[in-house]
Structure 1
Amino acid sequence: MARLPSPDLELGSRRVVVTRPEREARAWADALHACGVPCDTLPLIEIAALPDASGLGLIWQTLPSHLAVMFVSANAVRFFMAARPSGGGLASCRAWSTGPGTQAALLMAGWPAESIDSPPDTASQFDSEALWALVADRAQAAVAAARSCSGAQPTVLIVRGADTQGQLAGRDWLALQLEHAGIQVQQTVAYVRQAPVLTAPQRAWIRQAIQENSWWLFSSSQAAQHLLQLCPDLPLGQARALATHPRIAQRLLNAGWGRVEIVPAGLKDQAESIKSLA
């Protein structure tokens, strides 16, 4: 359940409401606050384990056959690594991530740094496009090598989340690029992304935050969707949002948010961008 922000908190024109899942939201809000950006958290995506994770153990047995395993998030790493069979070593294949949070989770889980491909901290965006720019040459070389010796088609495993109906969460852009390059894509679900349960006081706080011009920080369009599902009558015309990617920004504008600004995904640049807003 989402935690109600502190009742003695004074909402201000530059206060930021971080909507990431709870595990990441508090750390991100604390880091922004340390950079001079007043923050609070209202997680709008709840992360849960699969009802039955036994299938992940079977997936682990296939890892040595893959060219790479792509993790869509730190939660994908956390739940997938938790399903590692007892005594099983890490796979010899490479791990792909789209940003520093996922990369840090891989390192914490013990994945060798030299076997991780992830956009640098200085990248302008942390997304599938940035990752593909980094790994495309290696992937295409693997396809060419397989074809030259009539070998098996290279495969990439994508580890991601799903909603409560089992629908895969996230974009298929990278999968399409891989398939176009001649790589077979396999996908597995490691966790569930669902809407939180909000209390009446939380709903009232949300309305107050919007009316008092707080900035809502979205790094996922799903969080914004959950907000509107849970509070469908919000005065979005006066609401202000920060989006970490142009795609998210466009979806917020399409949903009726009154003002939407794009901010960098990286922490320090994001903080400076937020502080520059009027």
Structure 2
Amino acid sequence: MPDPVVITRPAAQAAPLAERLTALGHDAVLFPLLEIQPLPDQSALRAALADMSGVALVAFVSPNAIDAACALRSEWPRAVTLAVMGEGSRAALARHGLTAANATIVSPANTERTDSQTLLETLDLEMLRGKRALIVRGESGRELLGDALRAAGMEVTQVAAYRRSIPPFDPARKRELARLLACDSRWIITSSEALRGLLDMARALDGDQSVVSLQQKSLIVPHVRIEESARALGFRSVTLTGSGDEALIAALQSRP
């Protein structure tokens, strides 16, 4: 049996990658580190999506934001630019039928740093001056994008589309983490927040011993900011792949 490849994305996003890895002969294990839940009250999101008058830019901070928004609105005016952070979000748009053939989509050119800063470098901020922007995001997150668009002269509305939480560390999860720490597992980490949560779980499992065991595992990460976080948290074997499943799979396949 090959060494486990642990996919830590939220469950809904992890399944397609797990299927591809299994087909390639990997032992893909789902161990979600974040849960994505719909908001009990979606009235604010529904209202924001219903009124697109004057909106020139809709920025989605994650695939979760895209899924939540597209569940309420299936068609988007071609004149509205849809801004996303990386290849995972482009794939999410495509799942909802939105591609370059029927929508105006922009994303960072640098696939190793797909974040608000590199997205801002891609946008034509001068052309957007004086127009409306809608940012679809979780209940919490960085304010960089909204602040920068306001500074560029845009009228910005931010609307929450979902909430994130750390899954309960119940007995079944404790047994699974202990099993994964006891073998030569490799971990796909797609969130710095999730990685910190994983360290907390290891500490709760068996104190410093489990933390050290986790820090010795190989991590595969799609973003330089996650790589920086991982190294600051004591991980030494960190492979940076860039954005998208293809890059993650290529990194796994290249291991001797």
TM-score, normalised via structure 1 length: 0.76
Q: 1:182 to 1:122 in 2, by over 3 A?
A: closer
The answer to whether 1:127 aligns with 2:115 is: yes
Q: 1:67 to 1:26 in 2, by over 3 A?
A: same
The answer to whether 1:276 aligns with 2:247 is: no
Partner of 2:196: 225
Trace 1:61-210 onto structure 2 (pairs within 5 A).
61-84=50-73, 90-91=76-77, 93-111=80-98, 113=100, 114-119=102-107, 123-134=111-122, 136-137=123-124, 139-143=125-129, 153-162=130-139, 168-169=140-141, 171-210=142-181
1:264 aligns to what SS in structure 2?
coil
Q: How far has the Cα of 1:195 moved from its partner? A: 1.1
Q: How far has the Cα of 1:121 moved from its partner? A: 9.4
Partner of 1:24: 13
2:32 aligns to what SS in structure 1?
coil
1:265 aligns to what SS in structure 2?
coil
The answer to whether 1:255 aligns with 2:225 is: no
Is the Cα–Cα contact under 8 Å of residues 189 and 219 in structure 2 kept in the other structure? Answer: yes
2:133 aligns to what SS in structure 1?
strand
What residue ranges of structure 1 are gaps of 5+ in the alignment?
Answer: 1-9, 144-152, 163-167
Q: Distance in 2 between matches of 1:238 and 1:34?
A: 27
1:44 aligns to what SS in structure 2?
coil
Deviations 1:203-229 (A, max 9, x none): 122123123221111111122122233
Q: 1:173 to 1:264 in 2, by over 3 A?
A: same
Q: 1:89 to 1:216 in 2, by over 3 A?
A: closer
Is the Cα–Cα contact under 8 Å of residues 21 and 249 in structure 2 kept in the other structure? Answer: yes
Q: How far has the Cα of 1:258 moved from its partner? A: 4.4
1:265 maps to a residue whose letter is: S
Q: Which has the higher Rg, Structure 1 or Structure 2?
A: 1
Q: Distance in 1 between matches of 2:33 and 2:23?
A: 23
2:229 maps to a residue whose letter is: R
Q: Which moved more, 1:118-127 or 1:246-255?
A: 118-127
Q: Distance in 2 between matches of 1:247 and 1:76?
A: 20
Is the Cα–Cα contact under 8 Å of residues 124 and 265 in structure 1 kept in the other structure? Answer: yes
TM-score, normalised via structure 2 length: 0.82
2:53 aligns to what SS in structure 1?
helix
Is the Cα–Cα contact under 8 Å of residues 86 and 244 in structure 2 kept in the other structure? Answer: no
What residue ranges of structure 2 are gaps of 5+ in the alignment?
Answer: none
2:211 maps to a residue whose letter is: P
Aligned residues: 247
Q: How far has the Cα of 1:129 moved from its partner? A: 4.2
Percent of pairs with identical residues: 28
Partner of 1:146: none
Say what the alpha-carbon RMSD is for the aligned residues.
2.8
